[in-house]
């Protein structure tokens, strides 16, 4: 796909719902790009495809020219960021994800810089999903990475999307808990601060953490891992 080719080549195209380990849903729409492709019916003359295409779901092809920063692509990126932030609480000062959040990064790189929304924001609840994970639903951008992870990777399928339109919410099926062996991975998969680690909640700002190479001492795998250390200075 165009997005993966670009990422492999070190080129940034903003993306939320795409993850190389999960199925492609092309739902967040921030990765839309302008594509020019050879037209076989016109002597392979390079012609623009009239509408923007999702880079995450469009195969890369020979002779294609892809614009990620054309006026149309930039207008879309700004519009998507504006929509995503309409109901977002913008509570970065108390959010564990601040400093490593793709909403912050993309708002800075691709957003409008100001909000035109003056109406009342929709308030979504906080939910206890299981022994490791909390959901702050009003920070969720509905990328569905967490839902797809539980269906496609762990195969446990505890998570779902309920409601419609702006009332969409991530939830778990009644009577279930997010308690599979890999459940805490959804915290890392979540590109924003919606899924939170109960252990790490309000413990430290991420810019005070350092990382050091280590060996997994919890399981008997002996894997090489990176350990995050809190700055005590
Ligand atoms: S909770 Fe996070 S990973 Fe799940 S849909 Fe919302 S933003 Fe995506
Ligand atoms: S990353 Fe392509 S639509 Fe979400």
1-55 pLDDT, tens digit per residue, is: 999 999 999 999 999 999 999 999 999 999 999 999 999 999 999 999 999 999 9
Rounded alpha-carbon distances, angstroms, from residue 174 to 109, 137, 156, 168, 212: 39, 17, 14, 17, 40
Q: What is the pLDDT of residue 62?
A: 94
Check pocket membership of 31 for ligand 2, CB cut-off 6 A: yes
CB 95 within 8 A of CB 63: no
Ligand 2, atom nearest to 15 Cα: 1
State whether the beta carbon of 17 lies less than 6 angstroms from ligand 2.
Answer: yes
Q: Residue 146 corresponds to which tokens in the numbers above?
A: 């967490």
Question: In a structure prediction context, what are the per-residue pLDDT tens digits for the chain, which is 233 residues long?
Answer: 999 999 999 999 999 999 999 999 999 999 999 999 999 999 999 999 999 999 999 999 999 999 999 999 999 999 999 999 999 999 999 999 999 999 999 999 999 888 899 999 999 999 999 999 999 999 999 999 999 999 999 999 999 999 998 889 999 999 999 999 999 999 999 999 999 999 999 999 999 999 899 998 888 888 999 988 876 55
> Which ligand 2 atom is the nearest neighbour of the CA of 26?
3
Which letter, b or e, does each residue of 54-88 get, where b requires 16 or more Cβ atoms within 10 Å of its Cβ? bbbbbeeeeebebebeeeebeebbeebbbbbbebb
Cα–Cα nearest to 139, from 159, 117, 123, 150: 123
Q: How far apart are the first and last CA of the chain?
A: 45
**Residue of 8, 12, 58 whose CA lies nearest to 37:** 58
**Ligand 1 proximal residues by C-beta, below 6 Å:** 140-146, 170, 189-190, 192, 194-195
pLDDT for position 232: 58
Residue 73 CA to residue 86 CA, distance in Å, equals 20
Query: Residue written as tokens 């008997």?
Result: 220
Instruction: Tell the residue nearest (CA) to atom 8 of ligand 1.
Output: 143
* pLDDT reported for residue 231: 67
Residue 95 host element (H or E): none
Measured from the CA of 189, which atom of ligand 1 is nearest?
3
Q: What is the predicted pLDDT for the residue at 110?
A: 94
pTM of the model: 0.92
> Among all ligands shown, which has an atom nearest to the Cα of 24?
2
Q: Quick one: pLDDT at residue 222?
A: 87
- What is the pLDDT at residue 233? 53
Closest atom of ligand 1 to 144 CA is: 5
**What is the model's pLDDT at position 196?**
97
Does ligand 2 lie within 6 Å of residue 26's CB atom? yes
Ligand 2 and 106: CB distance under 6 A: no
Whose structure tokens read 């250390």? 229
Alpha-carbon distances of 156 from 126, 150, 191, rounded to whole Å: 22, 6, 21
β-sheet bridge partners, residue 33? 53
Q: Does the C-beta of 187 come closer than 6 Å to ligand 2?
A: no
* 89, 138 contact by CB (below 8 A): yes
């Amino acid at each position: 796909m165009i997005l993966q080719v670009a990422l492999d080549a070190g080129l940034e195209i903003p993306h939320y719902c795409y993850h190389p380990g999960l199925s492609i849903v092309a739902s967040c729409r921030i990765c839309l790009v302008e594509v020019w492709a050879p037209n076989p019916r016109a002597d392979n003359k390079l012609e623009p495809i009239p509408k923007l295409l999702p880079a995450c779901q469009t195969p890369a092809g020979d002779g294609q020219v892809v614009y990620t920063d054309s006026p149309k692509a930039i207008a879309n990126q700004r519009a998507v960021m504006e929509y995503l932030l309409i109901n977002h609480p913008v509570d970065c000062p108390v959010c564990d994800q601040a400093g490593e959040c793709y909403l912050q990064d993309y708002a800075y790189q691709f957003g409008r810089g100001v909000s035109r929304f003056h109406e009342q924001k929709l308030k979504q609840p906080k939910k206890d999903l299981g022994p490791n994970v909390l959901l702050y639903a009003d920070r969720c951008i509905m990328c569905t990475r967490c839902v797809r992870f539980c269906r496609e990777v762990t195969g446990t399928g505890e998570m779902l999307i309920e409601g419609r339109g702006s009332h969409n919410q991530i939830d778990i099926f009644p009577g279930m808990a997010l308690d599979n062996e890999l459940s805490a991975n959804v915290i890392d998969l979540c590109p924003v601060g919606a899924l939170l680690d109960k252990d790490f909640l309000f413990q430290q700002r991420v810019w005070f953490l350092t990382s050091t190479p280590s060996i997994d001492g919890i399981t008997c795998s002996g894997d090489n891992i990176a350990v995050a250390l809190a700055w005590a200075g």
